[in-house]
Structure 1
Amino acid sequence: MTRCRLCGSAALASVVDLGATPPCESFLAADQLDRPEPAYPLHLRVCTDCWLAQIPPLITPEETFTQYAYFSSYSTSWVEHARTFVADAVQRLDLGTDAFVVEVASNDGYLLKSVVDRGIRCLGIEPSVNVGAAARDAGVPTLTEFLDPATGAAVRAEHGAADLVVANNVYAHIPDVVGFTRGLRALVADDGWVCIEVQHLLTLIEENQYDTIYHEHFQYYTVASAMRALASGGLTLVDVELLPTHGGSIRLWARPAESAGEPMRRVAEVLDREKAAGLQELSGYAEFSARVAKVRRDLLRFLIEAAERGETVVGYGAPGKGNTLLNHCGVRPDLLPYTVDRNPYKHGRFTPGTRIPVLPPERIAADRPDYVLVLPWNLRAELVEQLSFVHGWGGRLVFPIPELSIVEVAS
């Protein structure tokens, strides 16, 4: 990477280098285990001119998202988060049955299903063929496309301008941030709203959430850098909410520049927090790499010592972030013989790079391991409850982020 993808500056500084890993959702079928597996550098840098944190665009969205292993509906808490968002947005924007809502990267329809249930016209734009088909099966109108200005203009011409465009957990996933933002502007009505949820770089740094750095996430936003990105497509930030999702996210409410008006007070408040944390100077990033290295040492020490004591450790979940962690730490089946996941698409497959088998969740109760390493740590409250049965045989949960912690769960 030689230039910032947002402002074009060559002033890029290293934040953390995680080596080379395969794409985090490229799970392997059994017949692929003896084939070569490509790995790509995973090196986070920050632009010292516009302060957008980013990794090189070494893989294309087409390689990752045409067939996708992640289905949002398998997370109970995430579906509830989406349902609550829809209810709040309908009230906030006074959306009636004559409104039109578009969601970009709509996945399996987990969010728009709540819009359909309210009788509001909607459309999902989802590039992944398999998850888009699941959305249509659930009754959610879904277009299989990537968003760019041409797609946005075509949807607007066919369906009309959107009163609300939702782009949750996708703004980090596109290397052409300017073109994508212009696509959002093409979709939204001149007096409409764009709502974006994306992980907050502030909490990523503060809470040591380095496993959310992976090849699907091309950039990592502060509110300050998000404002610059939105402006590149003719959108202006009006309001921001701080959310607990994904370990700490920002919900950005933006409008076309000509109708935006003055931003709400919360925007200035979050900008002040980011500035106080040093995220607009290199000092704010200085210690991050050392804290990342400590996570690796602590997790490996725990796994090795458990193995030497004859104790069993298995994984729970097979999320993209887990594959960053496992590859960076060099964990293999000798230390983690398998992980489990609720998504049947992943059953019988193997994690990229580390080749750890992914099995159905029922395997944990059958094997009664001493420890369960929880890889989707961002769902901690949900999973502590789901895994309470582990207490029945004296098992414990292990969370690797932000620092290693071992939890005794109540039955």
Structure 2
Amino acid sequence: MTRCRLCGSAALVSVVDLGATPPCESFLAADQLDEPEPAYPLHLRVCTDCWLAQIPPLITPEETFTQYAYFSSYSTSWVEHARTFVADAVQRVGLGPDAFVVEVASNDGYLLKHVVDRGIRCLGIEPSVNVGAAARDAGVPTLTAFLDPATGSDVRAEHGPADLVVANNVYAHIPDVVGFTRGLRALVADDGWVSIEVQHLLTLIEENQYDTIYHEHFQYYTVASATRALAAGGLALVDVELLPTHGGSIRLWARPAEAAGEPSRGVADVLAREKAAGLQELSGYTEFSARVAKVRRDLLRFLIEVAERGETVVGYGAPGKGNTLLNHCGIRPDLLPYTVDRNPYKHGRFTPGTRIPILPPEQIAADRPDYVLVLPWNLRAELVEQLSFVHDWGGRLVFPIPELSIVEVAS
């Protein structure tokens, strides 16, 4: 990768190099364990001209998202987050019975089902065949497609312009950020709104959340770099919200440039925070790699010491971020014999690269391990409650990010 995908600059500087790993959602079936498994460099760089952090586009969205292992509805807290968003957006945007809402990367209908329940016309645009089918089964109209300017124009021609376009946790997933943004502009009405949620690079660096760097995430945004990306597609940022989701996200409210007006004070406040953190100069990035290395050392030391004491530790969850962590740390079944996940699609499969078996959640209660390593640490409050039963035998929870912590759970 020699040039920034947003501004075309060659001024790219290394932030952290995580080696080479397989794509994080390429879970293996048992009959694939003796087959070769491709791995790709995972090296985050930042452009010192526009300050977009990015990795090389070594895999295509078609390779990852045509058949996808992630179903949003399996996270209770995420479904509730979507319900709250829809309720707030109806008020903010003024969505009435004649409104039209489009969600891009709509997954299994976890968000639009709340729109359907309100009797508002909507459409999901979801590239993954399997999760899109689940959405349609749930009564959410869904088009199987990737968004680009042509798709946006076709949807607008057939269904009319959208009063609200939602793009949650997809803006990082597309290598052609300018083309995708132009697709959003094609969808939205000239006086409409676009809402985008994406992880905030500020919290990624401050909270050491390096496991959210993976091949599906081609870029990592500050409000400053997101403003520039939106402008490249004809949209203007008008407001921003700071969210706790995914360890710290931003919700960007944008409108077509000709209808946007002046940005809110909130935009200026977050830009000032980013500048104070050094994210518009190299000083904000220089210590990150050393802190990442410490996470690896601390987690390996803990797992080795547990094994040498004859105690047991198993995993909870098989998220994409967990596979970045497991591969970077070199954790194999000798240190983590299995992990569990609520998603039955993953049962009987194995984590990419590290080949750790994925079992149903009931296995934890059956085996009563001494420790449970929680891989989706961003759902900490939800999972501490879900896993409170490990207290019954004196088990404890382990969270690896932002630093290793061992938690006693209440019954």
Q: 1:177 Cα shift?
A: 0.1
Once the two structures are TM-superposed, the CA of residue 99 in structure 1 deviates from its matched residue by 0.2
What TM-score, normalized by structure 1, do the two folds share? 1.00
Deviations 1:230-255 (A, max 9, x none): 00000000000000000000000000
Alpha-carbon distance in 2 for matches of 1:207, 1:351: 25
Q: Distance in 2 between matches of 1:195 and 1:100?
A: 14
- Provide the residue aligned with 2:213 in structure 1: 213
Once residues 95 and 311 of structure 1 are traced to their aligned partners in structure 2, the CA distance between those partners, rounded to angstroms, is: 56
Counterpart CA distance in 2 for 1:262 and 1:326 is 45
Q: How far off is 1:205 after superposition?
A: 0.2
Residue 63 of structure 1 deviates from its aligned partner by: 0.1
Q: What is the alpha-carbon distance in structure 2 between the residues aligned to residue 125 and residue 94 of structure 1?
A: 22
Partner of 2:189: 189
Q: Secondary structure at the match of 1:398?
A: strand
1:151 counterpart SS class: helix
Partner of 1:283: 283
Per the alignment, residue 162 of structure 2 pairs with 162
How far does the alpha carbon of each residue in 1:118-149 deviate from its partner, in whole angstroms, 9 at most, with x for none? 00000000000000000000000000000000
TM-score normalised by length of structure 2: 1.00
Q: Which residue of 2 aligns with 1:130?
A: 130
Unaligned 5+ runs, structure 2? none
- Cα distance per residue 1:184-208 (max 9 Å; x no partner): 0000000000000000000000000
Distance 1:170 1:311 in 2: 40
Deviation, 1:45, is 0.1
Residues 267-298 of structure 1 show CA distances to partners (whole Å, capped at 9, x for unaligned) of 00000000000000000001000000000000
Aligned partner of residue 150 in structure 2, secondary structure = helix
Q: For 2:274, what is the secondary structure of its paired residue?
A: helix
Q: CA deviation at 1:300?
A: 0.1
CA distance in 2, matches of 1:150, 1:92: 29
Which residue is 1:268 aligned to? Answer: 268
SS in 1 for 2:254: strand
* Alpha-carbon distance in structure 1 between the residues aligned to 2:37 and 2:67: 17
Following the alignment from structure 2 to structure 1, what is the Cα–Cα distance between the partners of residues 263 and 280? 20
Distance in 1, matches of 2:366 and 2:139, equals 36
How big is the shift at 1:335?
Answer: 0.1
Q: 1:221 offset after TM fit, Å?
A: 0.0
1:87-107: CA deviation from partner (whole Å, max 9, x where unpaired): 000011110110000000000
The DSSP-based 3-state class of the residue aligned with 2:255 is: strand
Give the corresponding residue for 1:43: 43
Q: Where does structure 1 differ by over 2 angstroms across 4 or more consecutive aligned residues?
A: none
Residue 122 of structure 2 aligns to a residue whose secondary structure is strand
SS at match of 1:123: strand
- Quick one: distance in 1 between partners of 2:226 and 2:245? 18
Distance 2:263 2:11 in 1: 29
Q: Counterpart of 1:410?
A: 410
Question: How far, CA to CA, are the matches of 1:126 and 1:251 in structure 2?
Answer: 20
Secondary structure of the residue aligned to 2:42 is strand
Deviations 1:293-319 (A, max 9, x none): 000000000000000000000000000
In 2, distance between residues paired with 1:142 and 1:281?
A: 42
Counterpart of 1:309?
A: 309
Q: Provide, for residues 317-337 of structure 1, a one-character-per-residue CA deviation record: whole Å limited to 9, x for no partner.
A: 000000000000000000000
| Equivalent-residue separation in structure 2 for 1:97 and 1:289 (angstroms) | 51
Whole-Å Cα distance in 2 between the matches of residues 384 and 241 of structure 1?
26
C-alpha displacement of 1:258? 0.2
Which SS does the other structure have where 2:3 is aligned? coil
The CA deviation string for residues 27-80 of structure 1, in whole angstroms up to 9 with x for no partner, is 000000000000000000000000000000000000000000000000000000
Partner-residue secondary structure (3-state), 2:28: coil
Q: Which residue matches 1:337?
A: 337
| Structure 1 Cα separation of the partners of residues 177 and 97 of structure 2 | 32
Task: Indicate the SS of the match to 1:392.
Answer: helix
Aligned-residue offset at 1:406? 0.1
Alpha-carbon distance, 1:389 to partner? 0.1
Separation in 1 of the partners of 2:209 and 2:341? 21
Cα RMSD (Å): 0.2
Instruction: Give the secondary-structure state (helix, strand or coil) at the position aligned to 1:227.
Output: helix
How far apart are residue 344 of structure 1 and its match?
0.1
CA distance in 2, matches of 1:27, 1:257: 42
SS in 2 for 1:275: helix
- Deviation for aligned residue 1:150: 0.1
Q: CA deviation at 1:154?
A: 0.0
Cα deviation, residue 5, structure 1:
0.1
> Equivalents in 1 of 2:159, 2:169: separation in Å?
24
Q: Identity of paired residues, percent?
A: 94
Q: Distance in 1 between matches of 2:93 and 2:65?
A: 31
Query: Partners in 2 of 1:194 and 1:84 — Cα distance?
Result: 17
1 CA distance for matches of 2:390 and 2:325? 23
